[in-house]
Amino acid sequence: MTVIVLTLCPTGLRGLLTRWLLEISPGVFLGAPSARIRAILWEEVKQYSGQGRALLAYSTDNEQGFTFETHEHSWHPVDHEGLTLIHRPNSTRISSTSSPPKGWSKTSKRRRFGNR
């Protein structure tokens, strides 16, 4: 099974993928092409995605039963002791010594506006 997810990609690329895969939702393609066709489709996606992003997930013989690849994503697959995990970069780091911003809890709101 193969799944390709496109975000902000040209319409022509979606048309190309519908020759081999079924578009089950806008930008989400599903099918069972051979490994050779899947590799060709992924190269086409990377070439014609323009400013968009793409994700490829497919079934394989490993512990998880699947693997995935990304193109132009800030999230990247990372191998961790034989398992493929997704690395999501944290753009807003909060140091452990700083206090949380005011107004972040219900209690803080009650203190600010009185007990209601």
Q: Which tens digits make up the pLDDT trace of 99-112? A: 656 556 777 777 77
User: pTM for the whole thing?
Assistant: 0.73
Mean pLDDT, to the nearest integer, of 8-19?
Answer: 93
Q: What per-residue confidence (pLDDT) applies to 32?
A: 97
Give the Cβ contact number of residue 108 at 10 Å: 13
Contact 86, 75 (CB under 8 A): yes
Question: CATH top-level class for 2-87?
Answer: alpha beta
- What's at 50, amino acid-wise? G
Domain boundaries, the chain: 2-87
What is the per-residue pLDDT across 60-108, written as a single tens digit (0 to 9) for each? 998 899 999 999 988 888 888 888 888 888 866 555 556 656 556 777 7
In a 3-state reduction of DSSP, which class is residue 112? helix
Q: What per-residue confidence (pLDDT) applies to 96?
A: 55
Q: What per-residue confidence (pLDDT) applies to 93?
A: 57
